[in-house]
């Protein structure tokens, strides 16, 4: 138990999952995050995020996805922002997954930063919709 607690304290990036919501948290205190440590709160099926996280070999610990790597965190954040706009179109969802897996580190950093900054500024997912639309147009989804 102590090893897990120590590991969580050293974690820089994590996603806390609930029944239908994911909260993206970065920082040295992920167990008690400050408001400024939250990068995004979004309604999404947690199983989808877990499945994609496993593609990146991220650690899944109960209701948390734990990462030491900003690149993986960025890619999961992008997926969580774009995925809710796609409804149940399986073809487009698979296309989004492929784009997330294949994009460069620079692209992942750029798009994740755009989503993060909008979240920090407004604190509402609805304010990200224009940027989500731009992402989908840019990648032809």
pLDDT in tens, 127-136: 999 999 999 9
Give the pLDDT score at 49. 93
Give the pLDDT score at 1. 42
pLDDT digits (tens, 9 = 90+) for 22-71: 999 987 554 555 555 788 999 999 999 999 999 999 999 989 999 888 99
Q: Which domain holds residue 114?
A: 2-138
Task: Give me the number of domains the chain comprises.
Answer: 1
Buried b (16+ CB within 10 A) or exposed e, 29-59: ebeebeeeebbbbbebebeebbebbeebebe
Provide the whole-model pTM: 0.85
Give the pLDDT score at 68. 83
């Amino acid at each position: 138990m102590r090893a897990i607690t120590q590991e969580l304290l050293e974690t820089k990036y994590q996603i806390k999952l609930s029944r239908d919501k994911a909260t993206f948290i970065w920082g040295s205190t992920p167990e008690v995050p400050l408001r400024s440590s939250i990068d995004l709160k979004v309604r999404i099926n947690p199983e989808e995020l877990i499945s994609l996280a496993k593609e990146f070999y991220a650690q899944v610990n109960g209701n948390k996805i734990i990462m030491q790597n900003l690149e993986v965190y960025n890619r999961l954040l992008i997926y969580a922002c774009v995925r809710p706009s796609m409804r149940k179109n399986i073809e487009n969802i698979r296309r989004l997954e492929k784009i997330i897996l294949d994009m460069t580190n620079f692209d992942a950093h750029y798009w994740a930063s755009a989503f993060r900054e909008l979240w920090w500024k407004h604190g509402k997912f609805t304010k990200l919709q224009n940027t989500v639309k731009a992402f989908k147009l840019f990648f032809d989804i």
